[in-house]
Amino acid sequence: PEVAKLKKQFKYAEDLKIPFTIIVGETERQSGKYMVKDQLTGVQESLSLEEIGDKLLNRDFSVEFRSESQKSNKIKAFDEES
């Protein structure tokens, strides 16, 4: 997609408090490495599917997301008791 569309999609993911987005394009498919963006920090890194799985399994999903006023709201993405 166009850069403007990607930015809109990243913003949508941030609004929904989705912690990671993964970009899969032709280059990523061919290389077996996928661009993973941490929605909280904005850091992007190229990872294999195995590395993505490890990252998600080892991640503490109690994270803080920036609100539009740049204040943080504590969220819990996974409740171990449910």
**Percentage of the chain modeled with pLDDT above 90:** 30
Side-chain half-sphere CA neighbours of 25 within 13 A: 8
What is the reported pTM? Answer: 0.62
Residues of the chain with pLDDT under 70: 1, 60-82
**Percentage of the chain modeled with pLDDT above 70:** 71
Count of H-run helices and E-run strands, the chain = 3, 5
